[in-house]
Amino acid sequence: MTIGHFVDGKRVCGSSERRADVFNPATGRRTGEVELASAADVAGAVEAAERAARAWRDASLSKRTAVLFAFRELVNARRERLAEVITAEHGKVLADAAGEVQRGLEVIEYACGIPSALRGGFSENVSTEVDSYSLRQPLGVVAVISPFNFPVMVPLWFVPVAIACGNAVVLKPSEKDPSAALLLAEWFAEAGLPDGVLNVVNGDKEAVDALLDHPGVKAVSFVGSTPVARYVHQRGSMAGKRVQALGGAKNHMVVLPDADLDLAADAAVNAGFGSAGERCMAISVLVAVEPVADALVGKIAERMARLRTGDGRRGCDMGPLVTAAHAAKVRSYVESGIAAGAVPVVDGRDVTPDGEADGFWLGPTLFDHVTAQMSIYTDEIFGPVLSVVRVGSYDEAVELVNANEYGNGTAIFTNDGGAARRYQHEVEVGMIGVNVPIPVPMAYYSFGGWKASLFGDLHAHGADGVAFFTRGKVVTSRWLDPRHGGVNLGFPTQT
């Protein structure tokens, strides 16, 4: 099966000969190939979007929201099918894929309420018989470039909001799991979205570069690894575009001595190994403030012994990694952790999966006595590897978190409200959980990290998303009245 593009309301093949293989990670078998768009393919999609954007910006708010409500109904009714498509190409277990669809649906629902979010302000009589009011208008054509780990949720962080604001979109999904994005585009069309308002081009760096350089693309929302996010932000900004580029993460969970250790252990296991650690909000570092480490590590290991790794369709807890190359890379981190002197309490290389032998398997791995110099600490591994760093005090814990280059998410586990409050105030991270290990903001707040986890300033969805996909205007108006005639070269002030 060859997976192509979706341009101007229909599935199309591109002009490029280049292809990438798509796998089912649970079987290790190639299930298809995806076309890798050329710059000409991208230009075709941008042109279709430019044509559509002209009319779509003038569609009334009721017409736009009618499409979004209909799209919401389709995704809601077909959520299981979407979850199956995610699991088939990504590998995450079906329940987790369903959770991703749910979080995406919430952004569609937020976008259904766009008339409230787009409301401007009005001031009467800012000067005598002069009124002032603000408008927000769409940008035109915007690009969304998404990573492999959330093939539905991440596109839905941006696409519904951009469209509700009156823009046309070119979406470039990850080449590792491209099928779900095409379904979303088809369902949007079925919901009544005019041709060309949402286009999907599949591809790799060549397609991304073409989007970054194309003068018709006015803004880029990117999510992926930090080196690529930094590059996309720089190249897109140099080309005069508005760019928000969300990058990688190394999320710390701090456990204070007064925490409920059973709850903390449950949370560490759920947030460390859910989706095989392939989440930008996964907990990859557990900061145990002594004297809790021994007890906490014991409780986590106990829970890990009960986890079932295997095919996501078989009701297992954790699926495979996304590709053979990624599984090999994560495995090599396990080796380097052992070589550096970290203690492997649970070694995921020993796992016996409930699945086919050729799947891209690695079981949950727990390292104790990790230090800030080891590569398993400094690097984003993006796999089921949880590192425990032992510290002597709350202050040492905050210092460690703030010294880290990333600042996406973090959590603190404690029963001390004062300590939690101090942590949320002092920590240099964008999303904070208090006794909540994966503090992903709801759709009506905005999602984004600090430092090397986000280049740009506006976060995804919520009020920031609306600000990102629109430009502000302020109108100062006076309806003609002869009393206001006369020449005056002074700077306008209130009279």
* Distance of alpha carbon 432 from alpha carbon 8, whole angstroms: 41
For residue 59, the minimal CB distance to ligand NAD (Å) is: 29
Q: Beta strand 130-138 with 122-127: parallel, antiparallel or unpaired? A: antiparallel
Name which of 344 and 441 has its Cβ closer to ligand NAD: 441
Name which of 413 and 447 has its Cβ closer to ligand NAD: 447
Size of the site for ligand NAD (CB under 6 A): 28
Residues in the chain: 495
Name which of 56 and 157 has its Cβ closer to ligand NAD: 157
Question: And the tokens for 244?
Answer: 């928000």
Angle, CA 383 vertex, CA 377 and CA 385 arms, to 5°: 50
Question: And the tokens for 349?
Answer: 């290389």
Q: Is 249 in the site for ligand NAD (CB under 6 A)?
A: yes
Which residues in the 250-269 window bind ligand NAD by CB under 6 A? Answer: none
3-state secondary structure of 236: helix
Question: And the tokens for 282?
Answer: 């996964």
For residue 236, the minimal CB distance to ligand NAD (Å) is: 11
For residue 409, the minimal CB distance to ligand NAD (Å) is: 9
Angle, CA 437 vertex, CA 233 and CA 260 arms, to 5°: 155
Q: Beta strand 283-289 with 470-478: parallel, antiparallel or unpaired? A: unpaired
Q: Residues 263, 240: contact at Cβ < 8 Å? A: no
* Distance of alpha carbon 297 from alpha carbon 276, whole angstroms: 19
User: What are the φ/ψ torsions at residue 17 (nearest 5 degrees)?
Assistant: -90, -10
Which segment (146-154, 262-270, 360-368, 386-394) binds ligand NAD by CB under 6 A?
Answer: 146-154
Name which of 7 and 280 has its Cβ closer to ligand NAD: 280
Strand runs labelled E in 201-304: 217-223, 242-246, 251-255, 283-289
Q: Is 449 in the site for ligand NAD (CB under 6 A)?
A: yes
Name which of 158 and 423 has its Cβ closer to ligand NAD: 158
Q: Is 330 in the site for ligand NAD (CB under 6 A)?
A: no
Fill in the per-residue mask, 387 to 406: x = in contact with ligand NAD (CB under 6 A), - = not in contact.
Answer: --------------------
Q: Give the single-character DSSP code of 358.
A: T
Name which of 210 and 264 has its Cβ closer to ligand NAD: 210
- Residue of closest CB approach to ligand NAD: 224
The residue within the footprint of ligand NAD, chosen from 23, 148, 367, 413 (CB under 6 A), is 148
The residue within the footprint of ligand NAD, chosen from 74, 246, 264, 330 (CB under 6 A), is 246
Our answer to whether residue 165 is catalytic in this structure is no
Question: And the tokens for 179?
Answer: 């099928």
**Helix axis angle, 61-77 to 153-164, nearest 10°:** 160
Nearby residues of 389 by Cβ (< 8 Å), 6 or more positions away: 285, 286, 287, 288, 370, 371, 372, 377, 400
Name which of 56 and 231 has its Cβ closer to ligand NAD: 231
The residue within the footprint of ligand NAD, chosen from 4, 28, 44, 247 (CB under 6 A), is 247
Q: What stretch of H or E contains 168?
A: strand 168-172
Distance of CA 65 to the CA centre of its chain: 23
CA distances in angstroms from 468 to 134, 367, 371, 384, 458, listed in the order given: 16, 40, 39, 34, 6
Question: And the tokens for 29?
Answer: 């078998």
Fill in the per-residue mask, 205 to 244: x = in contact with ligand NAD (CB under 6 A), - = not in contact.
Answer: x--x--------------xxx--x--x-------------
Name which of 64 and 172 has its Cβ closer to ligand NAD: 172
Which residues in the 456-495 window bind ligand NAD by CB under 6 A? Answer: none
Nearby residues of 116 by Cβ (< 8 Å), 6 or more positions away: none
Q: Beta strand 29-35 with 122-127: parallel, antiparallel or unpaired? A: unpaired
Q: Which of 13, 112, 165, 280 does the annotation list as catalytic?
A: 280
Q: Residues 138, 166: contact at Cβ < 8 Å? A: yes
Which residues in the 150-209 window bind ligand NAD by CB under 6 A? Answer: 150, 154, 172, 174-175, 204-205, 208
Which segment (103-111, 245-253, 262-270, 350-358) binds ligand NAD by CB under 6 A?
Answer: 245-253
Tell which residue, 378, 423, 433, 430, has the closest CA to residue 397.
423
Fill in the per-residue mask, 331 to 350: x = in contact with ligand NAD (CB under 6 A), - = not in contact.
Answer: --------------------
For residue 149, the minimal CB distance to ligand NAD (Å) is: 5
Q: Is 442 in the site for ligand NAD (CB under 6 A)?
A: no
For residue 353, the minimal CB distance to ligand NAD (Å) is: 22
The residue within the footprint of ligand NAD, chosen from 48, 145, 211, 255 (CB under 6 A), is 145
Which residues in the 258-317 window bind ligand NAD by CB under 6 A? Answer: 280
Which residues in the 366-385 window bind ligand NAD by CB under 6 A? Answer: 380, 382
Name which of 138 and 247 has its Cβ closer to ligand NAD: 247
- The set of catalytic residues is 280
Which residues of the shown chain bind ligand NAD in the complex (CB under 6 A)? 145-150, 154, 172, 174-175, 204-205, 208, 223-225, 228, 231, 246-249, 280, 380, 382, 408, 449, 453
